Structure 1
Amino acid sequence: MIEDAIHRLQRLIEFPSVSNVSNEAVSREVADQLEAMGFEVEWTNYYDLAGTLKCNVIGRRLPKTKHEPRQIGGLAYFGHTDVVPVNDWVGPPIVATDEDNDAFKPLIHNGRLYGRGACDMKGSIAAMIAAAASIPIESQTQPLWIVCTADEEVAFCGARQMVAKSNYYRDIVAAQPLAIIGEPTSRQVVHGHKGIATLRITSHGRAAHSSTDEGINANDAMVPMLSLLRDIAAQTRQEKAYHNAAFDPPHLSWNYGCSDFMTAVNITPPRCVAWANLRTMPGVDGEDLIERVRTKANELGLEFQRFQGGLPVWVEPDEPFLKELSEITHSQPSVVCYGTDGSEYHELNHRVVLGPGSIEQAHTNDEWISLDELDRGTKLFTELIQKYCGS
Structure 2
Amino acid sequence: MLSRAISILGGLVRIPSVSANSNRPVSNVIRQILQNQGFLIEEQTYRDGKGIEKVSLIATRGTGSGGVLYCAHSDVVPVDSWSYSEAGPFEFHQTADRIYSRGSCDMKGSLACFLAAAEKFAEHNLQAPLSVIVTADEELGFVGAEHVSKNSALFRQLVDQQPLTIIGEPTLLNVVHAHKGIYVFQATSKGRAGHSSTLEAINANVKMIPFLNTMYEIYQETLTDPTWSHDAFDPPLISWNIGINDFTYASNIAPERSVCTVSFRPMPDQPIEKLMDRVRAAAEMNGLILEIDHAAPPFFVPADAPHIQQMLSYTGQEKAKTVSYASDAAMFGELKRMIICGPGDIVQAHTDDEWIAIDQLEKGTNLYSKLIKELCCS
Find the aligned partners of 2:226 and 2:377 in 1 and give their Cα distance. Answer: 47
Match for 2:148 among 158, 162, 167? 162
Deviations 1:131-154 (A, max 9, x none): 000123324211100110000001
Question: Which residue of the partner structure matches residue 191 of structure 2?
Answer: 205
Question: Which residue of the partner structure matches residue 327 of structure 2?
Answer: 340
Question: Which residue of the partner structure matches residue 24 of structure 2?
Answer: 24
Deviations 1:203-244 (A, max 9, x none): 101011222221011111111111111111110110112222
The answer to whether structure 1 residue 78 and structure 2 residue 61 are counterparts is no
The answer to whether structure 1 residue 366 and structure 2 residue 353 are counterparts is yes
Question: Which residue of the partner structure matches residue 84 of structure 2?
Answer: 91
| Identity score, percent | 41
Question: Which residue of the partner structure matches residue 373 of structure 2?
Answer: 386
Aligned length: 377
Deviations 1:113-172 (A, max 9, x none): 000000000000000000000123324211100110000001100000011111111111
Q: Is the 8 A contact 1:149 1:158 kept in 2?
A: yes
Amino acid aligned to 1:348? L
- TM-score, structure 1 length as denominator? 0.94
Question: Which residue of the partner structure matches residue 45 of structure 1?
Answer: 45
Match for 1:310 among 296, 304, 309? 296
Find the aligned partners of 1:198 and 1:138 in 2 and give their Cα distance. Answer: 45
Question: Which residue of the partner structure matches residue 236 of structure 1?
Answer: 222
Find the aligned partners of 1:127 and 1:89 in 2 and give their Cα distance. Answer: 25
Structure 2 unmatched ranges of 5 or more: none
Deviation of 1:348 after TM superposition, in Å, equals: 0.7
Q: Is the 8 A contact 1:107 1:115 kept in 2?
A: yes
Find the aligned partners of 1:145 and 1:88 in 2 and give their Cα distance. Answer: 36
Deviation of 1:344 after TM superposition, in Å, equals: 0.5
Deviation of 1:197 after TM superposition, in Å, equals: 1.1
The answer to whether structure 1 residue 133 and structure 2 residue 119 are counterparts is yes
Which secondary structure does the structure 1 equivalent of 2:139 belong to?
coil
Amino acid aligned to 1:284? Q
Match for 1:124 among 110, 116, 128? 110
Q: Is the 8 A contact 1:258 1:275 kept in 2?
A: yes
Find the aligned partners of 2:341 and 2:125 in 1 and give their Cα distance. Answer: 24
Deviation of 1:381 after TM superposition, in Å, equals: 0.4
- TM-score, structure 2 length as denominator? 0.97
Supply the RMSD in Å over aligned alpha carbons.
1.1
Q: Is the 8 A contact 1:23 1:54 kept in 2?
A: yes
Deviations 1:3-55 (A, max 9, x none): 10000001000110000100001000000000011111110000011111000
Which secondary structure does the structure 2 equivalent of 1:138 belong to?
coil
Match for 2:181 among 186, 189, 195? 195
Which secondary structure does the structure 2 equivalent of 1:355 belong to?
coil
The answer to whether structure 1 residue 295 and structure 2 residue 288 are counterparts is no
Find the aligned partners of 2:271 and 2:60 in 1 and give their Cα distance. Answer: 35
Q: Is the 8 A contact 2:38 2:122 kept in 1?
A: no
Which secondary structure does the structure 1 equivalent of 2:38 belong to?
coil
Which secondary structure does the structure 1 equivalent of 2:128 belong to?
coil
Amino acid aligned to 1:18? V
Find the aligned partners of 1:23 and 1:148 in 2 and give their Cα distance. Answer: 11
Q: Is the 8 A contact 2:171 2:345 kept in 1?
A: yes
Deviation of 1:58 after TM superposition, in Å, equals: 1.0
Query: What pairs up with 1:206-355 in 2 under 5 angstroms?
Result: 206-331=192-317, 332-355=319-342
Which secondary structure does the structure 2 equivalent of 1:121 belong to?
helix
Question: Which residue of the partner structure matches residue 8 of structure 2?
Answer: 8
Amino acid aligned to 1:80? H
Find the aligned partners of 1:250 and 1:151 in 2 and give their Cα distance. Answer: 27
Deviation of 1:267 after TM superposition, in Å, equals: 1.9
Find the aligned partners of 1:378 and 1:352 in 2 and give their Cα distance. Answer: 17
Find the aligned partners of 1:137 and 1:108 in 2 and give their Cα distance. Answer: 31
Deviation of 1:349 after TM superposition, in Å, equals: 0.8
Deviation of 1:176 after TM superposition, in Å, equals: 0.3
Amino acid aligned to 1:38? G
Question: Which residue of the partner structure matches residue 61 of structure 1?
Answer: 61
Deviations 1:74-119 (A, max 9, x none): 1000000000011211226xxx4xxxx2100110123100000000
Match for 1:102 among 88, 99, 118? 88
Structure 1 unmatched ranges of 5 or more: none
Find the aligned partners of 1:136 and 1:157 in 2 and give their Cα distance. Answer: 30
Find the aligned partners of 2:295 and 2:227 in 1 and give their Cα distance. Answer: 22
Larger mean Cα displacement after TM superposition, 21-30 or 278-287: 278-287
